[in-house]
Structure 1
Amino acid sequence: MSLTHARPRARRASALVAVAVAAILTITGCSTGGGDSAAVQPGTDAVVIKHAHGSTTIPEKPQRIVALGWMSPDVVAALGTNPVGIEEVWGAGESGYQPWFEDFVTQEYGETPEIIPYAEEGPNYEAIMALKPDLILGLYSGITDVEYERLSEIAPTVPYITGPWNPGTWEEMTTTIGKAMWEDDKAAELVEETDELVDSLAAEHPEFTDKTFVWGLTLNEGGTELGVYLEYDPRVRITEALGFTSTSAMDDFLATAEGDNWYTGVSLEKLPDVQADLFAAWGASAAEGEYTVSNKVIANWNPVAKNSYVIYADDSKASAISAPTVLSLKYILPEYVDDLAAALQGEPTIAGK
């Protein structure tokens, strides 16, 4: 499995959205300027969201929201609005919706949003326009400036805040979307509730404290290095929040990472020197997970030798932990914590097809 499979399968699953230019800002309700990433514009009731390509003005509470890519649909729904349209993303079931999202909107709103048909060359502008949105969100995206300009002609658009395919933390995304939806207090409540869930699960498992871990990828057939995630990856952050401690080799991982990647590779010949009590990973299939742990070098690596590993080859599980939200964390964390606890007792998990 290539390391790049950690990135969403963008054009198929999470069609890219776009970023703003000043020429159209006065027409579309977007403007440039400094300050915080989300703020109320002085002297008005409008909300201004700063992002990597300028800033977007949202003049009134939005009612019809198109949520593109990963994560944004979850937050919009949790904040009290059923999106009018979303894209099918990686990790969705046969219905086209991620299971936790589908369950939530069906229960809360009685219906699911329209799925925007896939377009080969970026966002499906015609389908988005037909939904008559008053806000377009795509905080987990690879939006280009041209795509952003076109989307902003349809409705005020909030793309990624700092860089492509970088949604920030789930807390930051919840807060930013809460600001865009004029639901700051509700966003703060959701963050607090989710933090309390994480804290309560951690408190139930004091055995996690001081246990070290590596979060990575399954091994490609014939591969000579194991993919591992860096300290700012959401999978790593949520595992640390549950009480675990990242491997002491993290500094070495960071030193070998290229550009702004959130992963790197460890040569199999150096893997025995990577200290860890537990190994967590995701991959394309259960067979790939089995292939990984049966590799002669990996099989002798401490966490695998002790059967202390959790491998998710199930798309929905991998998606839920890879792009965590206030909805997906409620869905995945109880099972994830149980799997971690079992792994520390020498009962490994390989879940998937």
Structure 2
Amino acid sequence: MIARVRAFSALLTAAVLLTACGGGGSSEAEAPEAAGGGAFPVTVEHAYGATEVPAAPQRVVSLGYTDQDAILALGVVPVAIREFTGNRPAATWPWASDRLQGRQPQVLSGESISPEAVAALAPDLIVAVSAGLSRDEYDLFSRIAPTITQPPGADPYQTAWQDGTRLIGTALGRGEEADRLVADLEARFAAVTARYPQFAGRKAAIAAASSTNAGYFVWTSEDNRGRFLTSLGFAVPETFDQLAGDDFYADISNERLGLLDECDVVGWLEIPGNDNASLEAQPGYAALRVGQEGRVVSLTQEQGVALSFSSVLSLPTLLDELPAEFAAALGA
């Protein structure tokens, strides 16, 4: 698990079971109402069990690396946000910054966040969907406040944005709003896919140079970067899924850069702080057909971070830009 946390941080150096239960009164009308229209208490089922949220949360700590986007999209401003990458104000990127409502949440930095630091914030809900907590860590945080992790059976770093959004929406009492956000974004994906039928069945991958300069990463079809491609109709080559094994990315040596030629198009993102980040800087690039033929889309830093967040707020910005760039690279 520690290796996965480090790998997730190095991305840029990165079936829901929900039950809403009425309670606390003899009728639904007697239950307090959340701003989103949900009755409390609610029970959220996640990887480490069932967590009851007794009342509409007022002090939410976003402990997962990317959970803040769904929280903000649902109209709640956390009192603290976990730093993922980029050192942006309030650890929030431009696609979500207008949701802060002028507030400046505390930033929680570091590979591990101490329960004492979180307890000092007096939270009434800890959202740790993408935090990668161990069971022992979950037990510690849940003694501070109701804590939710990834959906049952899901990897914290591969939780589909739909499932994460819905799970967080339930905990906030805004399940209907979460469902609407998911439906609206899925409709946008469907519209883009219909606009670019030439993507269907073509092979594509998202890759980046390793932060250690010892090779490169390619993310699998089960990672959210790969899912972005498959949602557009592309297929991620099976080679990369096989090389990744049980992980969410394949770590490949420089000598095997030519594996990218299995793709019809490659999306290349650059890890901030990596001096050897561009594809052109990789050993063997001169022999790479996808490079020679202009079938590489080099993502901006913001696009790369947006793809690594793969949230209900970051994905719309990519749908406005990347499909057209992929189509141009394919010559279609």
So what's the TM-score if we normalise by structure 2?
0.80
Change (3 A) 1:193 1:97: same
Partner of 1:8: 9
Whether the 8 Å contact between 1:92 and 1:98 is mirrored in structure 2 is no
Structure 1 residue 269: deviation in Å?
Answer: 4.8
Contact 1:38 1:47 in 2 (8 A): no
Matching residue's letter, 2:60? I
Distance 1:119 1:172 in 2: 26
Relative distance call for 1:331 and 1:318 in structure 2 (3 A) is: same
* 2:187 equivalent to 1:186: no
- The letter for the 2-side match of 1:330 is P
Q: Which runs of 5+ in 1 are unaligned?
A: 15-34, 347-353
Residue pair 1:116, 1:127 contacting (<8 A) in 2 also: no
Distance 1:270 1:303, change over 3 A: closer
The one of 66, 77, 81 aligned to 1:82: 77
1:288 aligns with 2:276: yes
CA contact under 8 A between 2:62 and 2:127: conserved in structure 1?
yes
Provide the C-alpha distance between the structure 1 equivalents of 2:259 and 2:47, rounded to a whole number of angstroms.
Answer: 41
- Aligned length, in residue pairs: 311
C-alpha distance 5-312 of structure 1, shift in aligned 2 (>3 A): farther
SS of the aligned residue for 1:7 comes to helix
Q: Give 1:135's match in structure 2, choosing from 119, 125, 128.
A: 125
Please state how far the C-alpha of 1:214 moved relative to its aligned partner. Answer: 2.2
Equivalent residue for 2:105, pick from 107, 110, 114:
114
CA distance change for structure 1 residues 119 and 86 in 2, over 3 Å: closer, same or farther? same
Equivalent residue runs for 1:1-353 within 5 Å: 6-8=7-9, 37-41=17-21, 46-93=41-88, 96-105=91-100, 109=101, 111-118=102-109, 122-161=112-151, 162=153, 165-218=156-209, 223=214, 226-247=216-237, 250=238, 252-258=239-245, 260-266=246-252, 268-269=255-256, 271=258, 274-284=261-271, 288-290=276-278, 292-293=279-280, 295=282, 297-312=284-299, 314=301, 316-345=302-331
Aligned residue type for 2:176: D
**What's the % identity of the aligned pairs?**
26
Question: Which amino acid counterpart does residue 93 of structure 2 have in structure 1?
Answer: Q
User: Aligned partners of 2:134, 2:313: CA distance in 1, in Å?
Assistant: 28
Cα offset, 1:183, TM superposition: 1.2
Unaligned 5+ runs, structure 2: 25-39
Change beyond 3 A, Cα 1:220–1:159: closer
1:58-100 CA-to-partner distances (Å, cap 9, x unmatched) read 1232232111132211111111212222122213425642222
Distance 1:237-1:194 versus aligned 2 partners, 3 A rule:
same
Q: 1:5 to 1:204 in 2, by over 3 A?
A: farther
Deviation (angstroms), 1:114 = 1.6
Secondary structure, counterpart of 1:128 in structure 2: helix
Tell me which moved more, 236-245 or 154-163.
154-163
Taking a change above 3 Å as real, the CA distance of residues 212 and 179 of structure 1, as seen in their structure-2 partners, is same
Following the alignment from structure 1 to structure 2, what is the Cα–Cα distance between the partners of residues 94 and 197?
Answer: 29
Amino acid at match of 2:295: S
Partners of 1:220 and 1:127 lie apart in 2 by 29
1:163 and 1:203 map into 2 onto residues whose CA distance is: 29
Aligned residue for 1:191, secondary structure, equals helix
C-alpha separation between the residues in 1 aligned to 2:256 and 2:84? 36
The residue type equivalent to 2:197 in the other structure is P
